[in-house]
Structure 1
């Protein structure tokens, strides 16, 4: 909690148990969970130990994973910018952590977050009036695609990554849908997932071939004083880093893999620059890093899941992921509540006031970031 107050990005490590395929190939477990905060990897050069804010062992359930996430959902409803994302090699369990299994008997963070948002809203209906909007994108082969439109239309649609004056990132041109219930939000999510690019590889029967970004905006109006808060919850399921020799990627899949690795490399450059406090942070080198600019080194409360395999055959990738995640731990964000007074909210509702007028008025009517959604 102290680290959260300081703005440090929190990092959870989740260990995937050995699969039947790995066991049949004679692989053995080389990863061990020492306690709730420490994980070790048995390497040819000796035991390597890593420490994180939480370590979830091989028997951890989806409920265990979500237990410490729920208060971040509360922060989003309260008006903060929140980002939860999963990183790891292909087949390490990122999509299972974020989305769940195929028939959703074991739902992941995303569907659980949908339910929690509306549960929190229901508990506070006597104090606040709420509205919820969502967009859903995938970054596929260097292109940002809207998952709320059919794939053929998505190819011709132009989506631009922009920032408002307070540094909040949004996708200009993306289809934004309003949801009045958790069921409506989940139905929209299922619609988007059906349009996402997946394929079978040697490492994973349903490998994500794109980065998935779900953005949820929660507007809450205080019924007592009329002030308005705007929270943004970004849920990101990154595609897995992969080596073609291991995954058997060819032709289109090889192109996809190269694009995935290029974007993750750019993300690594941003993380390195932030963790070593360099003057220049190369956010603009890739669409993925532009999308995550307010989540890494920005104004979000951010939680990273690093997903790793316990298998000896994935030891090198596991070490790389853990070192990557260790750098993320060193990054500090500056999370601030997005709020505006009743008067500013009313002026914006009218729609006739420019940003300069609103900025001047905000100096007199009280502090707080101004809303700048497309």
Structure 2
């Protein structure tokens, strides 16, 4: 029943508004973004007030725990579905904080919290299933997929190709995949990979210059009937798009910015095609969307975080991102209050509390 509810809305869009930064305040910027409720955001512009709807809105005071509590897709991945959670937004909008957390992981984001949740769920179900958890960790940097489980020098010498395995899962052929038996092991692998990621000083002191892709594959074997299922959880911290004229990027950073913007544009085209149910979905236009293909569309379940700045100096970028996802949220909203979803949620609550459910439900 849980997965039936999740199937009702294959693409969800959450919006997270970060607090004003000291730099924004000191240069005279003022907040122009406001939350009307848990689902609506307004932006003050030179052309008046603009309102946008999302599947969930997190205001600047929302904690990392608040954000993670509203993510219910990890169970689906363990049940054998493909799931994708990613953060989208301009440079400096808080994507890495949402997905990864702070530098010392004292305030962890979605990825570290997901590692703990995976093993919490598998341990709860260990009497019924055997589980195997494995992870690969990649970055897409200047049009190249690089393996973060090896040194940057060794990564440049490896050729990674995007292929499908015998189970139909998209894999990075040539990249290392490592097994993990605990949340601590997953976190240790993750920290190892993060040390090899490209960063640079742009609009941030430490801005991600590549897309970080964490692919977790979960295999479960049913003790009773021997049935084996495979689920894939893709956690993606996207690099931020930025206007070259605004940042003054030159040489290598200019090349990085152009590569980032190109891949984000390709991802936007794919998400729009899926949300508007177009026949052709342009996955092959970029390596980012090729690798994410089995986690976007089909039976996959997707959660997209739009991270935005509340500052007046970033109004143009905030409007751009809110407008890009408007079609997605409007399409998704059609099913949000349907009687069928409400009925299924009622069944789930009954099952959790131990109440009987009619067989003909």
* TM-score bracket relative to the smaller structure: 0.7 to 0.9
What is the alpha-carbon distance in structure 1 between the residues aligned to residue 300 and residue 280 of structure 2?
Answer: 20
What is the alpha-carbon distance in structure 1 between the residues aligned to residue 164 and residue 125 of structure 2?
Answer: 30
Structure 1 equivalent of residue 317 of structure 2: 317
Structure 2 equivalent of residue 272 of structure 1: 272
Is this contact kept in 1: 2:234–2:292, CA < 8 A? Answer: no
Is this contact kept in 2: 1:43–1:315, CA < 8 A? Answer: yes
Structure 2 equivalent of residue 291 of structure 1: 291
Query: Alpha-carbon deviation of 1:165?
Result: 7.2
Structure 2 equivalent of residue 263 of structure 1: 263
What is the alpha-carbon distance in structure 2 between the residues aligned to residue 258 and residue 209 of structure 1?
Answer: 11
Structure 1 equivalent of residue 161 of structure 2: 160
What is the TM-score of this pair, normalised by structure 1? 0.85
Structure 2 equivalent of residue 111 of structure 1: 112
1:78 paired to 2:79: yes
Query: For 1:262-302, what per-residue CA distance to the aligned partner results, in whole angstroms no more than 9, with x for missing partners?
Result: 11112222233334443322211110111122233232111
Matches within 5 A, 1:1-374: 4-69=6-71, 71-164=72-165, 168-201=169-202, 203-329=203-329
What is the alpha-carbon distance in structure 2 between the residues aligned to residue 275 and residue 76 of structure 1?
Answer: 21
81-90 vs 318-327, greater mean Cα deviation: 318-327
Pick closer, same or farther for the CA change 1:140–1:124 going to 2, 3 Å: same
Structure 2 equivalent of residue 372 of structure 1: none
Which runs of 5 or more structure 2 residues have no equivalent in the other structure? 333-361
Which runs of 5 or more structure 1 residues have no equivalent in the other structure? 333-374
What is the alpha-carbon distance in structure 2 between the residues aligned to residue 330 and residue 49 of structure 1?
Answer: 13
Say which SS state the counterpart of residue 231 (structure 1) adopts: strand
Structure 2 equivalent of residue 340 of structure 1: none
What is the alpha-carbon distance in structure 2 between the residues aligned to residue 174 and residue 55 of structure 1?
Answer: 36
Say which SS state the counterpart of residue 127 (structure 2) adopts: coil
Is this contact kept in 2: 1:283–1:289, CA < 8 A? Answer: yes
Say which SS state the counterpart of residue 15 (structure 2) adopts: strand
Say which SS state the counterpart of residue 73 (structure 2) adopts: helix
Is this contact kept in 1: 2:140–2:210, CA < 8 A? Answer: yes
What is the alpha-carbon distance in structure 2 between the residues aligned to residue 209 and residue 320 of structure 1?
Answer: 21
What is the alpha-carbon distance in structure 2 between the residues aligned to residue 261 and residue 251 of structure 1?
Answer: 16
Pick closer, same or farther for the CA change 1:326–1:3 going to 2, 3 Å: farther
What is the alpha-carbon distance in structure 2 between the residues aligned to residue 228 and residue 191 of structure 1?
Answer: 30
Is this contact kept in 2: 1:77–1:220, CA < 8 A? Answer: yes
Structure 2 equivalent of residue 344 of structure 1: none
What is the alpha-carbon distance in structure 2 between the residues aligned to residue 292 and residue 298 of structure 1?
Answer: 12
What is the TM-score of this pair, normalised by structure 2? 0.88
Query: For 1:17-54, what per-residue CA distance to the aligned partner results, in whole angstroms no more than 9, with x for missing partners?
Result: 11000000000101000000001111111111111110
Say which SS state the counterpart of residue 263 (structure 2) adopts: helix
What is the alpha-carbon distance in structure 2 between the residues aligned to residue 171 and residue 330 of structure 1?
Answer: 34
Structure 2 equivalent of residue 364 of structure 1: none
Is this contact kept in 2: 1:114–1:186, CA < 8 A? Answer: yes
What is the alpha-carbon distance in structure 2 between the residues aligned to residue 191 and residue 278 of structure 1?
Answer: 40
What is the alpha-carbon distance in structure 2 between the residues aligned to residue 63 and residue 276 of structure 1?
Answer: 32
What is the alpha-carbon distance in structure 2 between the residues aligned to residue 330 and residue 296 of structure 1?
Answer: 18
Structure 1 equivalent of residue 353 of structure 2: none
Q: Aligned pairs, how many?
A: 330
Query: Alpha-carbon deviation of 1:219?
Result: 1.0
What is the alpha-carbon distance in structure 1 between the residues aligned to residue 221 and residue 288 of structure 2?
Answer: 32
Is this contact kept in 2: 1:132–1:219, CA < 8 A? Answer: yes
